[in-house]
Structure 1
Amino acid sequence: MFELKNINKSFQLPTGETFQVLKDFSLSVNKGEVFGLIGLSGAGKSTALRTFNLLEAPDQGQVIFKGKDISTIQDKELRLVRQKIGMIFQHFNLLSNKTVSENVALSLKIAGWKSAQIKPRVMECLELVRLQDKHDVYPNQLSGGQKQRVAIARSIANNPDLLLADEPTSALDPLTKNEILECLLRLNKALGLTVVISTHEMGLVKKLCQRVAIINGGQNLETLDVREGQIQPTSSFGKALLETI
């Protein structure tokens, strides 16, 4: 299980004021599930997602990874933990001067894999996202969906226990969004990979997730099961959100 316990996180604004983006925020994600964080822009969902791998370090609270509180670890120990937490972003973050294979291999080189192990692992990951035929092309030769699948291949290269997806389909057209959803579902089932995804798209949650947290004002208002593509909020905000997005 992966957990955020009573997380508080604030940012300093240019005006000198302090803005609290997460307020006593708690969340539990079960091993092997696809879990959604949904809310309007500015609700705190991306900050919550980035707290799982301490890209956003909490001011207070605990971040539980495989039974251990990692909220205060640093340096080498933190790097080792992050190797087991993959992450994909809205805008792919691929290196344009490197081929598809080289982009995927980069995370393995950083993790210290031996050269002889890297190429077969890269091809294995590209096969999982069905891009093995694109291994020697450059990102500018790919469609948006293909670029995101390369980013997914890179994120799973180190055999992570947890995959974080920050608005992974918001820059894509509807057909390409389905391509990415199918890819994530396939990896979840084939690898037993735990996925946490932040989004403002209710349709994505209904197709992809087993559970979803409704987030507003930096708080987890409620955590709901997604059954047969249906979500039944009990909070007034959750009901209004379901009608508007």
Structure 2
Amino acid sequence: MIVVDSVSKTYSAKHGATKALDNISFNVKSGEVYGLIGLSGAGKSTALRTLNLLEVPTSGHIFLEGVDLVKKNAGELRLVRQKVGMIFQHFNLLANRTVADNVALPLEIAGWKKSDIEKRVLECLDLVGLREKKDAYPALLSGGQKQRVAIARSIANHPKVLLADEPTSALDPLTKGEILDCLIDLNKKLNLTIVIATHEMTVVKRLCHRVSLFKDGKIQETLEVKNGLISPETEYGKALVRDF
């Protein structure tokens, strides 16, 4: 489904270059929930954002279903990104649009017919349990409801992959559990491939099938999650799990 091949990302600045990713490689299977975990600044969010080229790699290749995204031009990349949904820590909803209109936005951009948009919006809101909020504005929603709207918007275009960048970090423990349940449900019902960047072990235990551990822009090791547990072999991995 996704192959990351020898990807590096370097940022240039007045005081010298900073290498955010250092020759990382991993692959994500279709229908898998894959975690990118590590402390703040480890490179996990940058790695996630390379998967749809929101961050363009300095070197290396990103393959989605065998297609090298790095070689796509801007127009081709816009079409590819319709297959990739994304959610963020702070929801990114438009305050002046209702819940339904927020979910409809990517469909409007993609040129869907109005009648098809209305049907699909309700389908997506049903999937996240928020049909009754379709006419509400974001200011009237709880944090968990806002994130569920963001999830509904991210799946509106029938994506094959959902990228999630710290999607539960801004939520209280109870609401966090509701969002994880929602993502688990979507993964099972839609066979939706999910890649999630997180520093929260609760997310790893409940959601992920495999994880890569990041430090200083490098992958230290990649592990299977078995019965909600991972068993790192590196000293960094052991310390990371202990500190989470």
Unaligned runs of 5+ in 1: none
Determine the C-alpha separation between the residues in 2 that align with 1:18 and 1:113: 43
Secondary structure of the corresponding residue to residue 36 of structure 1: strand
Which residue does 2:137 correspond to in 1? 138
TM-score normalised to structure 2 length:
0.99
Query: What is the CA-CA distance between 1:17 and the residue it aligns to?
Result: 1.1
Structure 1, residues 52-108: CA drift from partner, whole Å, max 9, x if none? 000000011010001111112122110000010000000000000100000000110
Which residue does 1:116 correspond to in 2? 115
Which residue does 2:182 correspond to in 1? 183
Query: What is the CA-CA distance between 1:158 and the residue it aligns to?
Result: 0.3
Query: What is the CA-CA distance between 1:16 and the residue it aligns to?
Result: 3.4
Query: What is the CA-CA distance between 1:178 and the residue it aligns to?
Result: 0.2
Secondary structure of the corresponding residue to residue 233 of structure 2: coil
Determine the C-alpha separation between the residues in 1 that align with 2:202 and 2:186: 19
Secondary structure of the corresponding residue to residue 229 of structure 1: coil
Determine the C-alpha separation between the residues in 1 that align with 2:70 and 2:128: 32
Q: How many residues align?
A: 244
Which residue does 1:89 correspond to in 2? 88
Determine the C-alpha separation between the residues in 1 that align with 2:74 and 2:227: 43
Which residue does 1:78 correspond to in 2? 77
Which residue does 2:105 correspond to in 1? 106
Determine the C-alpha separation between the residues in 2 that align with 1:60 and 1:27: 15
Secondary structure of the corresponding residue to residue 212 of structure 1: strand
Which residue does 1:162 correspond to in 2? 161
The amino acid across from 1:193 in the alignment is: L
Determine the C-alpha separation between the residues in 1 that align with 2:99 and 2:66: 35
Determine the C-alpha separation between the residues in 2 that align with 1:53 and 1:68: 12
Matched, 1:7 2:7: yes
Query: What is the CA-CA distance between 1:27 and the residue it aligns to?
Result: 1.1
Determine the C-alpha separation between the residues in 2 that align with 1:86 and 1:236: 35
Which residue does 2:54 correspond to in 1? 55
Query: What is the CA-CA distance between 1:143 and the residue it aligns to?
Result: 0.3
TM-score normalised to structure 1 length:
0.98
Secondary structure of the corresponding residue to residue 71 of structure 1: helix
Identity across aligned pairs (percent)?
59
Unaligned runs of 5+ in 2: none
The amino acid across from 1:94 in the alignment is: L
Secondary structure of the corresponding residue to residue 21 of structure 2: strand
Determine the C-alpha separation between the residues in 2 that align with 1:96 and 1:208: 30
Determine the C-alpha separation between the residues in 2 that align with 1:187 and 1:229: 19
**RMSD across aligned C-alpha pairs, in angstroms?**
0.7
The amino acid across from 2:110 in the alignment is: A
Which residue does 2:243 correspond to in 1? 244
